[in-house]
Structure 1
Amino acid sequence: MSPRAGNAGPPTLAFVESPVQLLNVLEWAHAHAHALGAGLALVVLSPVDPMTRGQLRRMAELAREEGYEVRWEEARGGTAAPFHTIGGLMGPLRRAERIVMGDPFSRYVQLLLTITRARELVVVDDGTATMEFVTQLARGEKLVRWHRKGSRPGPRDLVFAPVSSAARRRLAPGGQRQVEVFSSMPISESPDGVTVTANSFAWTRARFGPPRITRTADMVGTSLVETGVVDGDRYLEAVTGLARTHGATRYFAHRRESAEKLHRLAVETELEVVRPDLPLELIARRGPIGRTILSFPSTVVHTLPLALAGTDVRVAVCDIDPRWLTQGASPRAQGFLSGVTGSARDVTRLAAVAAG
């Protein structure tokens, strides 16, 4: 067992469901190394998506190389999987003094929060959703992902509502319970008693790079089509226009982008579609990477400037034209996406390109 893992079980237990969450747990651990004591154990609540699983396995390898214990749970591997997973975690949950989580909106994580007795709770970045989480917590609102806000709750939402309410109460600081948000996102409204700590991607910069920089531009993909926010045809036209204008040659796919969409994009734009095996912050830091990185509003417009600090890489973000939104998009979609772009630091803002 790793010397950081301890004998009776680490007092810090982290739950992650995506590669970016695991990366940000490593960043948090790097920033809080003095406070980890007997150590940190990471529990991967594995999703079913093959690309996400592949990136998670690579990130788990990096975590083990750093000396941390990693427990891989097939948390969604069938009807009985959640019962086996939760049953096996009961002991560690009750012993943990600190819980670190990457997605407070996750039903899995919310359920686990009702079991733990930990007095310290930490939320690390799960992308732009962190901004929404902190705002909802500050206002005492229900925990609902931004792209679902305004839609009618389904039967599963109603059944799970008591658990979600209990999790929201646990995430509100009070008494001897401490809550920390570790984030690279701009947080303008935070609840009283919540400690907000800046994630500067110090571990990433120390572990990788500096990268070799090419003379071309790279594009970063987004899953806004897959989440029903942006129309697929309009998105393809926007990517085509952006790539042509700025001379992009590669398109780094988001792990949730569909194979059909990526195939069409590769054929019609002639961009080289790259499916990264690690979060883009690490890919960019390892290099080679384009002198300009083009992105639509997403987490990377906040994280890449930090990960690439000290290099000559320029991050440019293109606004989402309201005409690209689908009829089913949340009423809050345009405002939220504009806020993601407008609050980004050290980026170049590009006007929305013509699309259809």
Structure 2
Amino acid sequence: MTGRLAFVESPVQLLNVLEWAHADALGRPRPLATVPPQPARGGTVADGPREDGTPAGGAAHHTAPGDRATADGAPGDRSPAAPAAPAAWDSDLADPAPRPPSLAHAGLHVVVLAPTDPMSRGQLRRMAQLARDEGVTVTWQDARQGRGAVVRTLGELAGPLRAAERVIVGDPFSRYVQLLLTLYGPRRVTVVDDGTATMEYAAQLARGERLVRWHRRGSLGPRELALAPVTSLARRKLAPGRHRTVEIFTSLPVEAPPGTTVTANDFAWTRAAFGPPRLTRGADLVGTSLVETGVVDPDEYLRAVTVLARTHGATRYFAHRRESTDKLHRVATETGLEVVRPDLPLELIARRGPIGRTVVSFPSTVVHTLPLALAGTGVKVAVCEIAPEWIRRTASPRARGFLAGVAGSATLTERLEFG
């Protein structure tokens, strides 16, 4: 047995795998909820390559308007991100907590199914190095580059997948993960957060529906139809059954589907490993990829960012890794905000600091995760709901209700009235 095998495709997924391993090593906290199963209706790869010169950690990377990311993102270091305005700190916070214990004996092997976009690859490189520093085995798979990459990756991972006693996945909607799970149905499955997709996964699992991302619209296209058999089989292997247990490890408000266990992620590893941060006296804004996913109108989004920055005295805009360069250029030139492209997930950047005393975000995972990662620091996290007129007519009919649910269920944040 190779122990625990994790498949990740984003920096946040890898962070949450480390949080899961940390909680498991210390003795898992009591599950939030466990629902009994209901009767059915009707029936060792070597470590991957390291980027030359890539340090163990990363820092927020400040970019001038229009700058483009290079190959795998910009280099970083362990120093805190530079402030956008002249130094204005409040330094009355407690000393950093002791380092958490190493995860070297967690029996964890993380496989990075590397994406193609440069910003995601850059953040994943740095998260992979942080994981290695914690004693975790990490394999880097360029699973999407070159002809034959899919077949080669499936062949290399079939053995470790069959030998794993637990499989941890960060994105149950990933076609790559679904294809891998058709090779072997693990007896124990853990799903960790990959943004708000976890909420939709749990809801669809409870309703017995096919796995479809919440922002997808309309009927199945040719690609989805071709992969429908894989998706159907993967759904069964991501669901609890007679010979399979399923755990959802999450910081989001998720009700346990029948037969699953939901365990709380309180970002204990992040809080033990980093910070507490120094605080600026201003505010920071958190960007979102809702424009890129076709949910929000770009002009309405820019108008909202401008109003929020002026109202709250914000000077920095932390970009989502999937935001387009053109949109970020508009943010910088039309709002005057300094655009910051983080080299690590925002939870780590914020915990290391410096960070504003107020962090303003649109509905996204961070309105749930940042209050946990920044607990005890005095930082206030506020959420600005998406106005109906911002949503594009071509967006999924579920978009408005889903985003309202993300904001409304964030009990540790302050709600903002837009105007």
TM superposition score category, shorter chain reference: over 0.9
Q: Where does residue 72 of structure 2 map in the other structure?
A: none
Partner-residue secondary structure (3-state), 1:10: coil
| CA contact 1:97–1:117 (8 Å) conserved in 2 | no
| CA contact 2:185–2:237 (8 Å) conserved in 1 | no
Task: Give the drift of 1:78.
Answer: 2.1
In 1, Cα distance between equivalents of 2:412 and 2:26: 30
Task: Give the drift of 1:33.
Answer: 1.4
Q: Where does residue 130 of structure 1 map in the other structure?
A: 198
Q: Where does residue 201 of structure 1 map in the other structure?
A: 267
| CA contact 1:96–1:117 (8 Å) conserved in 2 | no
In 2, Cα distance between equivalents of 1:242 and 1:38: 44
In 1, Cα distance between equivalents of 2:203 and 2:106: 33
| CA contact 1:296–1:317 (8 Å) conserved in 2 | yes
For 1:29, give the aligned amino acid: A
Higher RCO (CA-CA < 8 Å; seq separation 6+): 2
RMSD: 1.2
Indicate which of 29, 32, 55 corresponds to 2:21: 29
The verdict on how the C-alpha distance between 1:67 and 1:38 changes in structure 2, with shifts beyond 3 A counting, is closer
| CA contact 1:10–1:38 (8 Å) conserved in 2 | no
In 2, Cα distance between equivalents of 1:61 and 1:135: 34
In 1, Cα distance between equivalents of 2:301 and 2:16: 29
Q: Percent sequence identity over matched residues? A: 71
Indicate which of 343, 346, 351 corresponds to 1:285: 351
Indicate which of 250, 255, 269 corresponds to 2:335: 269
Q: Where does residue 53 of structure 2 map in the other structure?
A: none
Q: Where does residue 312 of structure 2 map in the other structure?
A: 246
Indicate which of 148, 154, 175 corresponds to 1:80: 148
Partner-residue secondary structure (3-state), 2:285: strand
Q: Where does residue 154 of structure 1 map in the other structure?
A: 221
Runs of 4+ off more than 3 Å: 34-38
In 1, Cα distance between equivalents of 2:286 and 2:246: 33
Gaps of 5+ in 2: 28-102
Q: Where does residue 240 of structure 2 map in the other structure?
A: 173
In 2, Cα distance between equivalents of 1:84 and 1:315: 44
In 2, Cα distance between equivalents of 1:120 and 1:293: 37
1:80-129 CA-to-partner distances (Å, cap 9, x unmatched) read 11111111111101111110000000000001111124200000000111
TM-score of the two chains, using structure 1 as the length reference:
0.94
Q: Where does residue 344 of structure 1 map in the other structure?
A: 410
TM-score of the two chains, using structure 2 as the length reference:
0.80
The verdict on how the C-alpha distance between 1:168 and 1:244 changes in structure 2, with shifts beyond 3 A counting, is same
Pairing 1:218–2:284 present: yes
For 1:42, give the aligned amino acid: V
| CA contact 2:186–2:237 (8 Å) conserved in 1 | no
Q: Where does residue 78 of structure 2 map in the other structure?
A: none
For 1:305, give the aligned amino acid: P
